[in-house]
Amino acid sequence: MKEETIAIEGMSCGHCVAAVRKELEKIPGVIVREVSVGSARIAFRSGEVAPESVDRAVAAAGYRVTGRG
């Protein structure tokens, strides 16, 4: 499993955290380790989850991915 921390722009409260977590949990193959204001830490198998699917899930919650690490 690969772990990645995603920087997310626009989050400011617990509702934001819950919305992002909910959308990320919908992606098959993604395990959400932690979501906090401004970031999320996920685990997934390399090659099974496209970065674009993570970006789309964050966008569906109303926010934008600004970086990965």
On whether the CB atoms of residues 10 and 66 are closer than 8 A, the answer is no
> Pairing relation of β-strands 31-36 and 2-9?
unpaired
- Banded model confidence at residue 68, pLDDT cuts 50, 70, 90: very high
Q: Kindly report the pTM of this predicted structure.
A: 0.94
Q: For residue range 7-62, list pLDDT tens digits in order.
A: 999 999 999 999 999 999 999 999 999 999 999 999 998 889 999 999 999 999 99
Residue 69 has pLDDT above 90, yes or no: no
- Alpha carbon of residue 27 to chain centroid: 10
On whether the CB atoms of residues 58 and 64 are closer than 8 A, the answer is yes
Domain edges within the chain: 2-11+19-39+51-68
Q: What is the pLDDT of residue 45?
A: 86
**Highest CATH level, class, for 2-11+19-39+51-68:** alpha beta
On the 0-12 / 13-18 / 19+ scale of CB atoms within 10 A, 2 is exposed
